[in-house]
Amino acid sequence: MFALTNVMRDYPWGSSTAIAELLGKEPSGGPEAELWMGAHPDSPSVAATPDGPMPLDRLIAEHPESTLGSGVHAAFGAKLPFLAKLLAADKALSLQVHPTLERARERFADEEAAGVPRDAAHRNYKDANHKPEMILALTPFEALCGFRPCAESAALFRAVGTAIAASGAEVPALLGAVEMALNSRMAEPMVVRRAFEALLGGGDETTALVELAASALADGGAAVASAASGLPANALSSLETVVDLAAQYPGDAGVLVSLLLNRVSLQPGESIYLPAGNIHAYLKGLGLEVMASSDNVMRGGLTGKHVDVPELLETVDFAPSGVPVVPTRTTDLDQHMWEPPFAEFSLQRVEISADSDPVPLVQNGPLLVLAVSGSVLLDSPRGDMALSRGGSVFVPAAENPVMVHPHVDAAHSDGPAVVFAVTVAG
């Protein structure tokens, strides 16, 4: 087992306190958006080895069979197939989508052949992998995820028009065009695509509509509530989201694209998954994000970064769908398991008190283990390691089984110890 030092990303949308409070550490004073735990070459964790600190991607590349196990090595090559992040958002992340594996491989090869620097602002593909992911809420967590049914979106845009008219302003033609597109009798994916393209390609018209809509909704009061009556239960929160996003990203097309998307509120312990093509944006909250080891992101709004509209349109799945919830499965030993339909990863939570029996971790090859409360002892046939709040460990596949024991310090803690562990899907 190897203790890890992980990389913190300081994106401006990040909270300055949430991750530090969870892990019992002093905040840095700046935004702490994502704590990366894994072996992605852009920000690999550093493992404490007997020979000194070593980046985790190098450790795995030099010892793939013992660290990954033969099955994982054969399936994914000499690299850790998953990446975990603590994600803390104080404002919305970019509206984004991730490619299929086939598209990632093809487009990455194209950009490599064209000589596009990997750190270029306009580069789309940072690696040759796809990025299916899940987010587990650790606090109340707000998000946008996938497309709503067209009828719901049309009703929301109609409510925006009602609020604009009530403010005394003229309803812009672009809003009518979007509503008309959503009421079309064509197949829903084509309808959604047309509305999406109209907003992204509207230029100054979209900017003006965003500003007018946000102003009317912010000042509309009873008129907005009346416009939202008879709509789905979360319609009012969707309209309020327009106001919030416009304040964060003035004039951005993504503000109104949000009305095409499912509005999601997760409570702690609830989770959703994001397959290739699912357009989404995390809005606010602290969560544990797990994904295939990739940093491929196509952005569609709510950002000052590069937006490649043609590539985005070829990557998005425009079919309306329900919210893809990851159900929680509880094992006979009271572990909580989240198992999205991806080969690269599954997530588990173990809670253990001072008087608890040891609990075996579910392990399908390598493990990443993070402690968020209390103190535990990880015990394997090759050795053991104490893990306290804020600490993380990489467990090679060769160290199996791993038992979680209450640590001696647990008797003096304020409550049970809690650890999360990520492994390959079974």
Q: Is 299 a catalytic residue?
A: yes
- Residue from 104, 146, 149, 159 nearest 127 by CA: 104
φ/ψ (deg, to 5) at 27: -65, 155
Residues 345 and 81 sit within 8 Å (Cβ to Cβ): yes
Closest CA to 43 of 95, 4, 98: 4
Could you tell me which residues are beta bridge partners of residue 7?
A: 36
Tell which residue, 199, 333, 320, has the closest CA to residue 256: 199
- Identify the CA nearest to 67 among candidates 371, 382, 324: 382
d(CA 248, CA 409): 44
Residues 6 or more apart whose CB falls under 8 angstroms from that of 222 comprise: none
Helix axes 204-219, 235-248, angle to 10 degrees: 120
Q: Which of 107, 148, 299, 349 is catalytic?
A: 299
- The Cα 240–Cα 257 span in angstroms is 14
Residues marked active site are found at 299
